[in-house]
Chains A and B, each alone.
Chain A
Amino acid sequence: MRVCRNITPSGVIKEAVKYSKGVIMKRMVLCLFFATVFFLSVYTASAQQYITLGIPTSLKLIEGYEGHKAAQLAVEEINAKGGVKVGNEKRLLKIEALDIRDGEPGVPTSEALLGIEKLILDKKIYATVVGNFRSEALLAAMDIFSKYKVINIGTIAMTPKFQEKVLSDPEKYKYSFRNCLDSRYLAGYMQNMMKHVSSQFGYNKVFIATQDVLWASATGSMMEKWFKDNGWTVAGFDKYPVGATDFSAGLMKAKSAGVQVILPIFDMPTSGILVKQWKSMKIPALMAGFISPLMGTKAWKTFGEDIDGLMNVVFEIGYFPVKAHPPSVKFSEAYMKRWKEDIQSGHGAAPAYDTVYVLVNAIEKAGALDPDKVVKAIQETDMVGVVGRIKFDKGHQLIFGDDPKKAAVGAVFQWQKGAMAVVWPDSIASAKIVKPSWMK
């Protein structure tokens, strides 16, 4: 009970004002308390509605950077349509990306694995997409995905040992999938490219130049064996250290040996110099292989006509519009509209976009978020994506072929006057191979 000590009229008014102020304050505090409780409960409820997808990868490397954006685009599209149907309710998706830097030199695999566990435990992710950059990290991470029953659909690391590991214990490693090319398929595409070159020009003498890293030299060795088994002459096989800036010695060797084709296999930034030197030294041979920095539209802006005539193997179609496969056109336009730039990497981005849809379709088909049920639905996936038809083999590897109606597809394009003209496979080709001007 309040006691008014000051009983003068002005004193009573002051006391009354003080009293009413106190009441107002109390009410305000109460209101704030209830509002906080209300917003927290609404926030928690809405947070529970999200299905969180983790992207643990090398976000500062081009494949990881663009893969993240492509997955984000798919998530936004799905959320705009109301989200994922899980049983009778719709759930929204959200992405938690973490730069685990596993593709950067000097970063130990253990650090990358810690990053993945952090995402799983702290962010409570349901599945990971894009995933590990380096194969060593992927192989080690498969055990973590199994331990926590987290579905992983990777789109960058390419070792065939992935399938071997899945097949070694299908029950344990059933949570891991790969929705991109592996190095066996890459070698297959290069062989098809060489068959195509041989059939068009009758060439059979080649010089191999690769980056001195495991995947590139292994692919080069596979190609060397294939060339020898198929009646080609391999005039030389040079491996260049990472960061090499002068390829003149190899090019001179190729020229003096009279080779008709140079097969480059590189993903280091300085490999663009090889093509510039090929042109400036007027080496009379087709340059056909894989040079990562020359994959996107910006390569022409960067190097201009110096790269005219180069033939490049695309790991997965879809990152640039292929008219014969309309989903790729739709995707590249949507990506451009959302991010105001083209995709520059020929590997990873288009499959990352597809991966989100693969996962969503599987969840909807399973009608639940139970990882075991969803895994089964992913195994049975049969859908048309940006990269072609998506189906997985028993080793959880995306199946590739040469027709987007039947399988996922890689391709070979040639830089022709600033355009990326697809020259193989025939199902999507829009041009014939053109020899560089100094070869005529």
Chain B
Amino acid sequence: MLVYGLINSAVLALMALGFNLTFGISGVANFAYGAIYVVSGFLTWTLINHLHLPYAISAIITISAIGIFGGLVYKFIIRRIRGLVISEVIATFGISIVILEFLRYVGFIGFKYSLPVFIKGSVEIFDAYVDIQRLLIIAFGIFLITGLYLFTHHTKIGLAFRGIAQEEHTSLSLGINPDRIAGWSMGMGSALGALAAIVILPLGTITVDSGYDVLISALSVCIVGGLGSTFGVIIASFIIGYAQTITATYVSAHWTMIVSLVAILIILAIKPSGLLGHQKELEERV
């Protein structure tokens, strides 16, 4: 239970990081995130199976293409409505529906779509066999969180990210273009979603409908952790991940579906800004 709880937490953290990054920097709740996750899986599958490209090359192309796509979506659609929260949600959710229905329309139906695991086999840990791909998810989770920390603290763009996240107008006076940085954050958030898809999807199959599930998972982790807070996301992933595993082990797998929803309800009742969130924290105090 300890091992699989950890893996479940890492999966949730990976799914939520991209969504959280975009929201934390630009304030845009990217409801197309689940669709971006799914389209990344299908794109990688297509590159491997139809263009016969090596897995690593396909993954790199997918992450880059999806990152660029995210940036373009911001430039041509979101930039015009940024700050209008309802419009942002409607626009991104609309994009999500267009992407998912397009995938369905062009024939991505059935169960044959799956990505290969990075390394086959399993190892025994604490009397339980765990497949290596699941262990790699934990490794990728750690790598990604460390990478994000280094990026936002030690690179020029990363510092600009933090600048507009903290105070957009002041950062403008320091020569940081908030629109450009918000576009970058949307691109990077999408690329992180693509990376998560490439690491997680080898565990099962790629289906159009899973886009909505991914969005709900990412949203619940971000709401519990506090929208925009990376460490909040990590803590929330552990709370929800272990709560789901404990529920499945000692109660019933049937109830795991409501764990994240109960967590959202509790956190909204106690601390609406989330565990480590700063959005509206001041209003809550007042």
Chain A residues with CB under 8 Å of chain B are 60-62, 65, 105, 209, 212, 238-241, 243-250, 252-253, 269-270, 272-273, 276-277, 280-282, 292-294, 296, 298-299, 301-303, 344
Contacts and interface: CB of A to CB of B under 8 A. Distances in A.
A238 B122 contact: no
18 contacts: A60-B109, A62-B109, A212-B254, A240-B253, A241-B253, A245-B204, A246-B244, A248-B245, A249-B4, A252-B128, A270-B205, A272-B205, A280-B129, A281-B129, A281-B131, A292-B111, A301-B112, A302-B112
Contact of B4 (A239, A244, A246): A246
A244 B257 CA distance: 8
Given A301-B112, A302-B111, A344-B111, A244 B129 contact: no
B253 A239 contact: yes
Contacts of B256: 240-241, 244
B8 interface: yes
Contact of B8 (A246, A280, A282): A246
A303 B253 CA distance: 24
B234 interface: no
Contact of A250 (B203, B210, B213, B248): B248
A75 B130 CA distance: 50
Nearest to A239: B254
Given A280-B122, A344-B112, 6 more contacts: A239-B253, A239-B254, A240-B253, A241-B256, A245-B204, A269-B207
Contacts of A303: 114
Contacts of B210: 243, 269-270
Nearest to B4: A248
3 closest A-B pairs (Cβ-Cβ)?
A293-B111, A249-B248, A241-B257
Contacts of B129: 280-282
B252 interface: yes
B281 interface: no
Given A105-B209, A248-B4, A240 B254 contact: yes
B122 A272 contact: no
Contacts of A294: 111
Contacts of B111: 62, 269, 272, 292-294, 296, 298-299, 302, 344
B110 interface: yes
Nearest to A104: B209
A120 to B, nearest CB: 26
A269 B253 contact: no
Contacts, number: 112
Given A241-B257, A246-B8, A269 B128 contact: no
Main secondary structure of the interface of A (DSSP, over half): helix
Contacts of B213: 243
Looking at B109, B110, B244, B252, which has the most chain A CB atoms within 10 Å of its CB? Answer: B110
B20 to A, nearest CB: 20
A302 B205 contact: yes
A60 B4 contact: no
Contacts of B200: 245
Contacts of B231: none
A281 B128 contact: yes
B249 A249 contact: yes
Nearest to A267: B111
Nearest to A247: B253
Contacts of B121: 280
A372 to B, nearest CB: 38
Contacts of A296: 111-112
B16 interface: no
Interface in B188-239: 200, 203-205, 207, 209-210, 213
B140 interface: no
B249 A277 contact: no
A246 B4 CA distance: 8
A18 to B, nearest CB: 55
A364 to B, nearest CB: 35
Contacts of B254: 212, 238-241
B11 interface: yes
Interface in B101-142: 104, 109-114, 121-122, 128-131
B160 interface: no
B248 to A, nearest CB: 4
A172 to B, nearest CB: 36
Contact of B112 (A238, A252, A253, A298): A298
Contacts of B249: 249, 252-253
Contacts of A60: 104, 109
